[in-house]
Structure 1
């Protein structure tokens, strides 16, 4: 199948190379000439495990290319996927890029008899595709729906696992406003053997938001319970959650033994959720609800708990030390999760800002995200030392904070940490493995 993908960011590029790997002919569009040039020689501009190898493979097979020209990309395409960014503006999503894409595609359709299915893959609130996108296409083309197709196909990609998630999905949502687009989407996804949900575009849009809002709610309720456990004393929230996990509705018991679904990883105490999806999507859903006169009390609470959660680290350390002024502190992990360079809404930004306000001496380490972190934290970066080898910093540090759950930080148990304070904000290591250190975490009161 011939596909044009407008936008070669995280979603667009991963989708493009994966569709090409399945035998489709794919053209990715990006306005940035330097990005297009990079992609056409096999150099991705985003970090994602397995992406460089897959990009080189589909380029070699001549099934993938990049261009800056929207019209040339869609003149032979059967489907045009809109995969541009929808950044957050005061809690609402900014649809300007989606709107501009629809106008450009509509301008092409105005001069061509070609029937094209326009499918939104960007994350947009319910009611966007069948109103704003449709209106822009109809106005720019002078044609009505039917002369072109319209659909919505949300993505469910986890950063660091995006190639696997795309190639081995748990479900595919086929949102459509016309039968011809549904047929094309079914053909496009025919190689995938998984549940396929066929719905209208509004339902497809809402599935994406509901999915992320419910995941975020689980994280926030667990963190609120963890904070209560710490306040009560004599209770470890991780032990509490292990007991909760054994409920057969979370971990079904089968003839092969007990299952441990991945959803349980969202039911562990920590320092909050971040990234490009959960915070933005929960905020957008709340904003949409409030615009319709709904109070959205639950989503407000989810966001409030999450906003305050990273503050647990410094407040706990201040209860222990009295003051952090001058304390030598090493922060391990700057991205919002391991194996990515994405620092958007990362808890580490808040943790480091809190440490600097407390006048601690701060060193940071991350194998991928240091440069993005410097940009995100701005001028405060001048007060931070960024290390290229965290293991060599252990002797210097009085306090070590594990801020992301990267497995390499588990090596801390084999290093000399006697007399140091280890704050394991992600419950990565067993406290018994660092018996000579003062082990602190979220969800357990100081001894």
Structure 2
């Protein structure tokens, strides 16, 4: 099939490369000329394991191309995916659909024959209906369908998620669109990927409901961690005990500094706004958003308290900046609020991240960056582990201790065994497991 993907960002580029790898002929379209130039030269705009190699292989095979001009890119396309950004509007938290609707109008202007226009972007309920209305009002004579096909890609594991998905959700309103979308994902038949066809509105809401539920699990276990700290329980044992219940499951029950990233915060806010718009406020989801935002700065205050309450002119090393490992994404990363809290208290911050320091420089002010974690902790009064990168899981704690001015380790991801940290000379603080001193 010939497929066009509009938007060569995270979702669009991963989707385009994977669809091309299925054997489809795919053109990724983006209005940013520099991005298109870089992609044609093999330079990736994002860090995602395996994406550069997958992209290069399919470009070489002639199945994947990049285009700035939308009219050229969608020519003869049977399926046109809209994969542009839907950021939160600052004034009310609603998803900003400006880019989606702009693209819909542009598609309408250049559509020549039947195609299925697919909203791949995460969009509120009713967006696909509005896309159809816009296109039909501009080109009433053209045959087309509109479908909803939300993405469920985890940053750091996106290629595997696309090729071996838990499920494929497709919202359609006519049999012709259903047949076309079934053909798009036919190559996954051998993997027996569950495909759920629904109406468009159910498909759109499924994405928001799924992300809000996962965000709720994270927030719930973080609150349980707080209770563990006050009662002397161990949150990791509590989480294991909960997760062994098949109705609950173990995933997303890891206590930490709160969730961030490009999806959960934005989607939670959008779902809250949707509930308000339809006069069915979602009190649970509202609480999740509030508790999570408060938690990030609270983790900064926890580091300050570990240092005796005064960190003015003291050096705090922060290891791990991105919102999760295996990505360079800094969007709404807990490290941002944590470092701002440290700055507000007068600290000097040293930082290291395996992949995200270039992006961090765009959002973090007055931070000194280092090439490796040992350089970052040298002379520090305390070190905080904020992101659980694999390369930070087995640091030489005795070496770190010898480099630091004082020996305080605040492990916000619980990746170290407390007794081993103490044996290395640290005063060790974690989340929901109690503190140990040398």
Q: TM-score, normalised by structure 2?
A: 0.93
Name the stretch that deviates more: 436-445 or 311-320: 311-320
Query: Secondary structure of the equivalent of 1:76?
Result: coil
Q: Secondary structure at the match of 1:89?
A: coil
Aligned 1:190-201 pairs, distance under 5 A: 190-192=186-188, 193-201=192-200
- What's the counterpart of residue 289 of structure 2? 303
1:396 counterpart residue number: 379
The offset of 1:99, in angstroms, is 0.4
CA positional deviation for 1:105: 1.1
Does residue 30 of the first structure (1) align with residue 30 of the second (2)?
yes
1:163 correspondence with 2:146: no
> Aligned ranges for residues 285-364 of structure 1 at < 5 Å?
285-320=271-306, 321-364=308-351
Shift of 1:408: 1.1
Whole-Å separation in 2 of the counterparts to 1:288 and 1:240: 34
1:90-101 mapped onto 2 (5 Å cutoff): 90=90, 91-101=93-103
1:289 and 1:295 in contact (8 A); partners too:
yes
Aligned-pair CA distance for 1:313? 2.4
Q: For structure 2, which runs of at least 5 residues remain unmatched after alignment?
A: none
> d(CA) in 2 for partners of 1:105 and 1:248?
45
Of stretches 238-247 and 278-287 in structure 1, the one that deviates more from structure 2 is 238-247
Residue 263 of structure 2 is aligned to residue 277 of structure 1: yes
* Corresponding residue for residue 70 of structure 1: 70
Deviations along 1:416-436, one digit per CA (max 9) or x if unpaired, are 344611111011111122122
Q: SS of the counterpart of 1:87?
A: coil
Query: What is the CA deviation profile of residues 283-304 of structure 1, one whole-angstrom value per residue up to 9, with x for unaligned ones?
Result: 0000111112223211110011
Residue 258 (structure 1) aligns with: none
Q: Please state how far the C-alpha of 1:446 moved relative to its aligned partner.
A: 4.1
**Residue 169 of structure 2 aligns to a residue in which SS?**
strand
Spell out, residue by residue over 1:247-301, the C-alpha distance to the aligned partner (whole angstroms, 9 max, x if none). 34345xxxxxxxxxxxx24111100000000000000000111112223211110
SS of 2:318's equivalent? strand
Matched, 1:128 2:127: yes
2:1 maps to 1:18: no
The whole-number CA distance in structure 2 between the counterparts of 1:350 and 1:327 is: 18
1:140 corresponds to:
138
Change (3 A) 1:317 1:60: closer
Name the SS of the counterpart of 2:351 in structure 1.
strand
Paired position in structure 2 for 1:188: 184
TM-superposed CA distance for 1:142, in Å, is 2.4
**Residue 442, structure 1, aligned to residue 438, structure 2:** no
Partners of 2:155 and 2:294 lie apart in 1 by 24
Paired position in structure 2 for 1:261: none
Count, aligned residues: 424
Distance 2:45 2:301 in 1: 38
TM-score by length of 1: 0.92
Task: State the distance in 2 between where 1:164 and 1:433 align.
Answer: 35
Larger deviation, residues 232-241 vs 345-354: 232-241
Alpha-carbon spacing, 1:414–1:124, altered in 2? closer, same or farther (3 Å):
same
8 Å contact kept, 1:233–1:444 = no
Matched, 1:385 2:368: yes
